[in-house]
Structure 1
Amino acid sequence: MPFKLRESSDNYYELVVSEPLDREKVPEYDITFTVTDRGSPPLSDNETMTLELLDVNDNVPQFPQSFYTIRVMENNAPGALLSSLTAFDPDLHENQYLVYFIIEKEIANTSMSMLFSINPENGNLYALKTFDYEIEKEFLFHIEARDSGSPPLIRIFNMEVEILDMNDNAPQFRRETIHLDISESTPTGERFSLSNAVDPDVGSNSVKTYHLSETNTSMSMLFSINPENGNLYALKTFDYEIEKEFLFHIEARDSGSPPLSSNVTVHIIIVDQNDNAPVIVSPWRAHGSVVEEKIPRSTDKGSLVAKVIALDTDSVHNSRITYQFLQVTDATLFSLDQYNGEIRTMRMFSYRDPPDSCFTCSTFSGK
């Protein structure tokens, strides 16, 4: 018992506190007094009293923990309740009544009061805006709990709001269309493209797989794609003279739930190679035979003797044909236009010229 009686004068006693009192531990005491006279025999009497302790503001508000982490999914609704933060104060009455505040702190010139609000009476914490994980990932600030005593006592604790990612971004290609030139001599299995998309989400929300989107012709018979990195491969060697271009789509799909995807258009142009030799179609001759052209000896200088025509199934410069003599018995008698294949006389015939002259023509392409 933290009390004792002390005699102050005849028949008067004082109740004295012998050690500190704490209302939060023992709010009241029942004290019994025994009074005994000094007669013979002595006589006594008992008296009981209840001593109630009055509260003083001697307890700081207490939180269950000193650091709180709240996780909020991005794209939250403004005004959403984030948490109920309840502190405890064992004092009584106004000494127990708590008020909550967000301690102002600016992040990137933005005040916390523009991002969060707290109910001063019950400590409910609310979000004032919709958060975007790709812009802001966490907030650190302080919350104060203050009682209403005089003077008031204050407790401050740390608050972390962590923004969680959700699958709200589809993979995006850097371009809408990918143009690729592939040589018709490209070997089967050759890698010729990397179709890479980016996804600002995190975790499984950013893990991408790549797929060929089928069109009228099954592209999977012509091309294959690595589903993990978007590498594109040719499954055959292409022939420009048969197929000149392909148009199809590649889809990038993330692994979120539900998955999001986007497409890129792939335009492949087969580039011609000089893989076809020119073929002389005029004057026509059977294989191994010699073409004869008869002209009179009176033929004038510059007269057209023959015209060689060749065709090349390649394209552009690979199909440009030039003509030249490979062999001629008299280089002074005939000329060959290298561009149009016309063979003309360079002079008049004389009696010294043999009755027949021979020459062999050749064609070249890609010039």
Structure 2
Amino acid sequence: MRTRSFIQERIMPFEKDKRRGPHGPEESLRNDLIALARDEGLLNPQVSRHFGGMGLSHLGKAVVLEASGYSMLGPVAMNCAAPDEGNMHLVEQVATDAQKEHWLRPMTEGRTRSCFCMTEPAPGAGSDPSALRTTAQKRGDHFVINGRKWLITGVEGAAYAIIMAKTIVDGEDVGATMFLVDLPAKGFTISRILDTMDSSFSGGHAVVEIEDLEVPETDVLGTVGKGFQYAQVRLVPARLTHCMRWLGAAHRAHDIATEYAARREAFGVPLAQHEGVGFMLADNEIDLHMTRLGIRHCAWLLDQGERGSAESSMIKVQASEAVFRIADRAVQILGGMGVTQETEVERIFRDVRAFRIYDGPSEVHRWTIARRLVRRLS
């Protein structure tokens, strides 16, 4: 397939590039990778052709984004990495034409990045978005935002932010609203970059302080008070595309482990001929297959116009846990090699662990799924 060949031949050689740091690829590396994907016509599989994308269906994205994830630099190169992929989808679905030209088009051209500012430190919004504490006070023809956000992916170097805030109009809480904010901006400060297990997201993860940030009402994304509704527009497909990309990374870890087990000998025979190792490889094949089926079923539902909320929750839990199992087994099969940076497996293992937390921890999704089951009986 064209995407897989591109990733293997053009992108994987950059995996040892020194510009690939602990807080994600540096901007110069990102620019080099995007230029390669642009030349191949592989930018933006998630965006419509009108904005320079590939215009793929959700099912089409399932195939291409899995292939992109075979290298963790692949989604960066193809401009379909988080959080930009989800933000592009949201802005294309909700924004005005003028907002799309200002914020979306430069991003689909690979010239800018973005961030999504919703998560807050305790006691603010995390798994429970209703605990949102950041506020936006309406004052004349603009809003004044105050609050604190953390674990904001990609904010360092981002050209704009989508900020979620509890909105106060005439002293009344009218619900959450999303705001588009050009960066840098007065009142929007990155207080520190967090050191985290993962290292594949451009711009890393940061803590943001928002103090008396003024945003004109023309820069409201969508309608005032409908922020949580728009969050679902973004989060349902975005959690599914996470599954697609990480499935590709898990496949890579499995391939590395399989090749190693086939040639490395122990006790007179290749590792793969030992039942303990062979069973781990078999379990990886099962997890890959079942995860791929779940992703593509959910993608097909979205293509039929279904909301897919329950299905995306289920596959998010299944995929996040399955790909971690695959990476964990790959480390075990590689033995001492698996805990070194001689292969991509060690990095994949560290990065994929966080997927069980972001876009909703497994426990929250299981709780939601159980509540749906109970409601069917009432």
Normalised to the residue count of structure 2, the TM-score between the two structures is 0.20
Higher strand proportion (structure 1 or 2):
1
TM-score if structure 1 supplies the norm length?
A: 0.20
Q: Could you say which structure has the larger radius of gyration?
A: 1
Quick check: which one's helix share is greater? 2
